[in-house]
Amino acid sequence: MSRLADLHDKWSREPDYREVYDRLGPEFELSRSLIEARTRAKLTQAELAERMHTTQSVIARLESGRNRPSTRTLEKIARATGTKLRISFDPA
């Protein structure tokens, strides 16, 4: 079975896939950042949820990209993971 990275490399050669992936890139980046913050803090989704006074399913939805977190939610995640929230605007 192919690894996910191998599949992504293969699919990236397809123009339709590349277009959608590029359009959704910022959402994937946010999801990846949320997961990295949680794993660096050595927390499970359930543990992070407990610290944030929410449920594991909410954390799963945030990490999957199905829900876009508010700034307030991002601040709660930062506090719960012992990180600092930084939002920036970079040149396109």
pLDDT digits (tens, 9 = 90+) for 7-29: 878 888 998 888 887 887 777 88
Structure tokens at 27: 């959402």
Structure tokens at 80: 């719960």
Alpha carbon 32 to its chain's center: 4
Largest CA distance in the chain: 43
String of DSSP letters for 18-49: HHHHHHHHHHHHHHHHHHHHHHHTT--HHHHH
Note the pTM of the prediction, 2 decimals: 0.74
- pLDDT of res. 75: 98
